[in-house]
Chains A and B, each alone.
Chain A
Amino acid sequence: MLVFVVKRLANAAMVMLVVAFIAFLIFRFIGDPVNLMVNEQATQADRDELRTRLGLDQPFAVQYIRFVTNAVQGDFGISYRNQQDVMTLIAERFPATLELVLAASILSLAIGVPLGVITAIHRGRWFSEALQFGSILGVSLPSFVIAILLILVFSVTLGWLPAFGRGETVQIGWWSTGLLTESGRRAIVLPAIALASYEITLVMRLVRAEMLEVLRSDFVKFARARGVPRRVIHFRHALRNCLMPVVTMTAMNVGTLIAFALVTETVFQWPGMGLLFIQAVTFADIPVMAAYLCLVSFIFVALNTLVDIVYAVIDPRLRDATA
């Protein structure tokens, strides 16, 4: 067991080192940091001085090691664009993204699970087929298309919900939340639906497939024979047996959602990390890009590793198979 955990952690660390290496390469070789940081009148001596101060005259490997050491301590340098500490910038934006992603995850479970159960129980009926077809729409329409359609209907035409921004936020310590104000809650509705649309479909399809499997099993047949009410069979016995993989998938997809949130954030001008990243891309603000890449990959890899380890704890058979 210990061997498995250590191997899995080493693997994750390896991946992160490679990601950090890519981020470092970008940081080091796309545009000369010195040229981007000094002003026009700087003399060659000034440039050399800055180069030495930034450690850019050191050997390649030394620079990489220092980049990793700094990154682990959360130091990604100074943003080229607004001369602020990159990690502070990202930390300011992080709550907005996390709230959006969690809202979308909860939404996808709250909508996806019932839909999956309905399509499984009423397999072959017209509304179930219609929902199945609807799920093809869900995987086919990109989130920005759904976002635009939502804005077109609910903001432009009906005027019910705001189309951009986060509304009023409340500061709790270093965390800023929009969930405590009326305008904040109204602002999160459309972005959360747009971000969740793909996930809802995934949850629905997975629940449906799992339910169809469970409904064929002997214990469900036995429960039926015993005369247990259908609703109890479906929701208490069958659904419970499907929820494990669904919850796992939703947890693992939080990483993907954080990455995809950058699209939703761009459409809704949601002030999260993704919007920060896209703005950094337009301004070639390399430190911000590198930091975002490392951070999102870290969350992604950490979640995957965590799920793998938890699974191995629960199911000993997996330890040898994947170790």
Chain B
Amino acid sequence: MSAPTDPTPRTGALARLRNSDLWRSFLSHRGAVVGAVLLAVLIVSALLAPVIAPQDVHDPRALDLWFSELPPVWVEGGEWPYILGTDVQGRDILSAVLYGSRSSILIGFFAVLLSLAIGLTIGLVAGWMGGIVDNLLMRFGDVLLSIPAILVAILVSSLAMQVIPSGWRDVTAGAVLVAAITLSNWVQYARIVRAQTAVERRKEYVQAARLLKVPARRILAHHILPNTLTPILVAATLSFGMAILLEATLSFLGVGMPPSRPSLGTLIRLGNQYLFSGMWWIVLFPVLQLSLLVIAVNLVGDWLRDALNPKLR
């Protein structure tokens, strides 16, 4: 599984990947293949949103009220090029969904990345040092987990809205969300890594490295960390899905991305207001996109969890 990041020549790594158990298990798992293909399509289309979207939804000048409230093209009254219709401001739904996915994916990705950085570091330090440092760090994590994650995130996000001057809110909203999600997300990684580090620390190869006066930082990074990566990979994949959901929920509640830089959750919140006016397309397409995105992540994550679980092999 470490093949893609190995410093060995590219062709060798690819060949090794193609020959591995993991790759074979991937191909034989229908859900995983479907999920991975779907995920790839969604991620690429979202990241390319500024290139492929018909309209720049972040630019208010691109909106045309003349073309507002149009249904999708296959419905009576729909018009090209507004394939999925437009909302009340004349925003093209397809473009909004593409841009919205981009925000959702980027926020989810950076939240997981930051959580990993914090969680791995704290886990390694706590597991290596033990004693009071370990106790303090882990109790701190316990406290964070003793408040529901959604509550932590709403608090961080809404308090940030109070503190940050209104002119800056649009720009900082994404970063605030990343921080809000990270605050409770890092604990799970720290717990996994800490438990593993506390075990590995006592093993002979680590003792040998210490006798050779290898610096602690190097032992942790080169010898212990790689041994903890398998469960971390599974946890990170599944929590990427959770992070996207959490972001969507916050934006839906109005404490996430602002309407000027909508994520999928913001679009659903805005569309929800028109649920009873018959304009179902405003809310339905963001809902479908969000669902597909998280389902794809979870399909891959579920497979990965089973494939990397030594008990199930």
Contact = CB atoms under 8 A, between A and B. Distances in A.
Interface stretch (A2-10, A38-46, A114-122, A294-302): A294-302
A141 B146 contact: no
A300 B245 contact: no
A19 B143 contact: yes
Given A18-B143, A267-B272, A300-B146, A140 B295 contact: yes
Given A136-B302, A142-B245, A259 B146 contact: no
B25 interface: no
B142 A15 contact: yes
B159 A30 contact: yes
Contact of A144 (B151, B255, B268, B294): B268
A151 B275 contact: yes
A293 B276 contact: no
Contact of B291 (A26, A141, A255, A278): A141
B298 A139 contact: yes
B59 to A, nearest CB: 28
A191 to B, nearest CB: 15
Contacts of B40: none
B294 A140 contact: yes
B143 A263 contact: no
Contacts of A300: 146-148
A142 to B, nearest CB: 5
B90 to A, nearest CB: 23
A301 B146 contact: yes
Contact of A281 (B142, B143, B146, B158): B158
A148 interface: yes
B214 interface: no
A281 B255 contact: yes
A60 interface: no
A294 to B, nearest CB: 10
A169 interface: no
A149 B291 CA distance: 12
Interface in B113-153: 139, 142-143, 146-148, 150-151
A310 interface: no
Range of interface residues on chain A?
Answer: 35 or more
**Residue of B142, B146, B268 with most chain A CB atoms under a 10 A cut-off:** B146
Contact of B290 (A133, A142, A256): A142
B101 to A, nearest CB: 14
Name, among A148, A260, A262, A282, the residue most crowded by chain B CB atoms within 10 Å (CB to CB).
A148
B258 interface: no
B45 to A, nearest CB: 19
Contacts of B146: 15, 19, 297, 300-301, 304
B22 to A, nearest CB: 21
A289 interface: yes
A156 B249 CA distance: 23
Interface string B269-298: 000100110001001100100110011011
A170 B247 CA distance: 37
Contact of B162 (A14, A30, A263): A30
Contacts of B291: 137, 140-141, 145
A260 B150 contact: yes
A235 B255 CA distance: 46
Contacts of B241: 140
B154 interface: yes
A206 to B, nearest CB: 15
A26 B147 CA distance: 15
Contacts of B290: 142, 145
Given A136-B299, A300-B148, A26 B155 contact: yes
The list of the 10 closest CB pairs from A to B, nearest first, reads A259-B148, A140-B294, A140-B295, A281-B158, A15-B146, A18-B143, A142-B245, A297-B147, A140-B298, A30-B162
25 contacts: A26-B159, A141-B294, A142-B294, A144-B248, A145-B268, A145-B287, A148-B268, A148-B287, A156-B275, A259-B150, A259-B151, A260-B148, A262-B154, A262-B253, A266-B252, A266-B253, A281-B158, A284-B158, A284-B162, A296-B147, A296-B151, A297-B151, A300-B146, A300-B147, A300-B148
Interface of B: 31, 139, 142-143, 146-148, 150-151, 154-155, 158-159, 162-163, 241, 245, 248-249, 252-255, 268, 272, 275-276, 280, 283-284, 287, 290-291, 294-295, 297-299, 302
